Structure 1
Amino acid sequence: MIPLFRTAVAPGTAERVTAVVDSGRFGHGPAVEEFERAVGDRVGNPRVAAVNNGTSGLHLALRLAGAYAGAPGVPGGPGEVLSTPFTFEATNWSILANGMRLTWVDVDPATLNIDLDDLAKKITPATRAIMVVHWAGFPVDLVRLARILDDAEAEHGFRPVVVEDCAQAWGATCAGRPLGGHGNLCVFSFHATKHLSCGGGGLLTLPDEESLLRARRLRFFGIDRDADRVNADYDVAEWGYNFYMNEINAAIGLANLETVDERVRLHRLNAAFYDAELAGVAGLELTARPEGLESSFWLYPVKVDDRASFMRKMAGAGVTVSVVCRRNDEHGCVADARTPLPGVDAVHDRVVNIPVGWWLTPEERSHIAETIKSGW
């Protein structure tokens, strides 16, 4: 079977991991700090905090956003967070884990990202944070989002904090700038199947120095790592978590960082091939490509008629395809937040993802395209 996902292991990975093992230091140390500096250079934002996985990063980002129950400026219970249901559950369960109130925003059927028109309508004085997901690696229009927030601030006297879920979007750009440097709280995942893999791990990029210092304390129980813990001469003013990245993950990440640009290039090359080959295929619709937004194409989603038949046809041809996620608003644990979402209704049962990754040979991607063009 042609796989939908594969794990990248760059040359030199084993040597870097062996060096960590030989050092005897496995917790947060020099490899993590080197990785943070290197990633900061890549995204154009030196204010980064590595964590043990992307979900922890989302949890921590929402804590920093300050919309949890009892936070200053959030009287009478949890603050509202606007989010999309078209994402993997980790995005939205981090909202619930922080005790925040979840309000669904519809999706744009053309891009599968959050519908910015619907978002603008749903911002209220109770809105404290907005979660946007760069689904499949395709970036949300952050320039337009900033204008929407300008209007909301003028109307309500408060600017909601934006948390960007960049888990699938390493290498994506908005208005020519990499994600992670647009002034929001941004969270990357370095899960084994991502463009940039650490085997596990994640990272936050922060908009200012105060947020950075707070994030680095909160990822380690609220303790300043430079504090005098030998003599117990330190104070935890704000409790935190056990979220820090370890040295082995950082070593793997540093090796893969040397080759990640080529992987992203190949994903984009394969996506361009599909864009040309699959345009106009009966029963299939491609996602939109708005100007100024460059996807990393971690996934290549298509919208198809009779998805079950399409998936059977692809499996029979030796091609792994997947829906990847279920719409989050239909889960029982968020039943009280349900609301009409016509955009999600229009696409949820049609979307399926086909292999687009760096591992595809020209023969394999041609086989995939020809299989689709032959009908299902």
Structure 2
Amino acid sequence: MIPVFKVAMAPDAPERVAEVLRSGRVEHGPRADAFEVELGRRLGNPRVAAVNCATSGLHLALHLLVGRDPYRPDPTPERDEVLTTPFTFEGTNWPILGNGLKIRWVDTDPATLNIDLDDLERRISPRTRAIVVVHWLGFPLDLRKLDEVLDRAEQRLGFRPPVVEDCAQAWGATYREKPLGNHGNTAVYSFQTIKLLTAGGGGLVVLPDEELHRRALRTRWFGIDRADDRTRGEYEVPEWGFRFPMNEISAEIGLANLELVDDLLARHRANAHRFDKELQGVPGLEHTERPDDREPTFWAYPVKVEDRPGFMRRLDEAGIMTSIIARRNDEHVTVAAAREPLPGLDSVADRVCYLPVGWWLTEEQREHIVDTVRAGW
């Protein structure tokens, strides 16, 4: 069976991890610090904070931007909504609830599967506290248009809602030739097991300014500045925080895999470009858009198909795995009170599924996928 996802691991990762274990230092330490430095260098933004997973990173990002402190007055108590997409994995949206805020859904753009920016603009209101956007499958959102939406919202409402970019599937993606995390918002990457750059777990928060960066480094560790003298108990906690730091084992795995991730990414893109060309004109199959101002990662390859059950059954018979990756979040009973009409999402939710496109595909497997899809279902 040709898998949709596969774990990429550098050959020397096991021995490097063994060295960490032998060192006796497995909590956040010099290897995690080194991983942060290298990630910041590759992104072109040194204001980064490594954490234990991307969901923690999203929780931390929202806490930094709009978090509620029970011991301090809230100057804007009426602003309690976070605008977000239901077309994502639950790890994007549950941190909103974890920060004591309400979800308000925004429709999906059927052409890109990202958040519908026109619908987002309609929904920004005096109740909006923040916005969460997802670069789904590593396909960058139109961040210039997002800025224009926010500019108009600021003129209309007198405030500019902060934005968190979920870049979980987007390591290596660029928008207008810049890596995500360089466009004025707070961004969060994932290094979970099946991501293109894996650390076996972990995540990264990328901050737009020095003050947020300083607070992120502090609040990921209970709000304590680790530079303080804690050996004699002489330290202060200016704001409370969490226990979210990345450990040394994950950092060492990540450092090892950084040495091969560029080649993996190139192979994902080459496979996707081949599918773009060879799956054109297939009856019952529609592609997503490919604007030339952004470079996706193609963490998976999306197609919109008629008769999705039949399509997936045919590929399974041919030994090709497919997936729908995540259930639309607005259908969960947990957030039933937030449900509202989303016609764009309704038009694609039951049609989208994903083909294997990764670095592990052989030429023969890639052609088998093409031939199977072109033969119909």
TM-score (norm 1): 0.98
Aligned positions of 1:147-226 closer than 5 A: 147-226=148-227
Aligned positions of 1:40-55 closer than 5 A: 40-55=40-55
- In the alignment, which residue of structure 2 is the partner of 1:21? 21
Deviation of 1:69 (Å) = 7.2
Distance 1:236 1:79 in 2: 26
On the 8 A contact 1:67/1:128 being kept in 2, the answer is no
Deviation of 1:312 (Å) = 0.5
Distance 1:158 1:271, change over 3 A: same
Distance 1:51 1:368 in 2: 37
Amino acid at match of 2:347: A
Distance 1:330 1:68 in 2: 27
Distance 1:117 1:150, change over 3 A: same
On the 8 A contact 1:44/1:181 being kept in 2, the answer is yes
- In the alignment, which residue of structure 2 is the partner of 1:93? 94
Distance 2:53 2:253 in 1: 14
Distance 1:281 1:357, change over 3 A: same
Distance 2:218 2:132 in 1: 23
Deviation of 1:180 (Å) = 1.1
Report the secondary structure of 2:370's partner residue.
Answer: helix
Deviation of 1:63 (Å) = 0.4
Report the secondary structure of 1:188's partner residue.
Answer: strand
Deviation of 1:147 (Å) = 1.2
Distance 2:348 2:99 in 1: 29
Distance 2:69 2:375 in 1: 54
Distance 1:344 1:172 in 2: 24
CA RMSD of superposed structures (Å): 1.2
Distance 1:116 1:72 in 2: 32
Deviations 1:118-153 (A, max 9, x none): 011111122121100000110001111111111111
- In the alignment, which residue of structure 1 is the partner of 2:307? 306
Distance 1:64 1:12 in 2: 37
Q: Does 1:75 align with 2:87?
A: no
Distance 1:45 1:223 in 2: 24
On the 8 A contact 1:67/1:80 being kept in 2, the answer is no
Percent identity of the aligned residues? 59
Deviation of 1:293 (Å) = 1.6
Deviation of 1:14 (Å) = 2.0
- In the alignment, which residue of structure 1 is the partner of 2:286? 285
Deviation of 1:346 (Å) = 0.1
On the 8 A contact 1:67/1:74 being kept in 2, the answer is no
Distance 2:79 2:22 in 1: 47
- In the alignment, which residue of structure 2 is the partner of 1:35? 35
Distance 1:151 1:77, change over 3 A: closer
Amino acid at match of 2:60: L
Distance 1:280 1:88 in 2: 30
- In the alignment, which residue of structure 1 is the partner of 2:235? 234
Deviation of 1:21 (Å) = 1.2
Distance 2:67 2:127 in 1: 10
Higher mean Cα deviation, 77-86 or 96-105?
Answer: 77-86
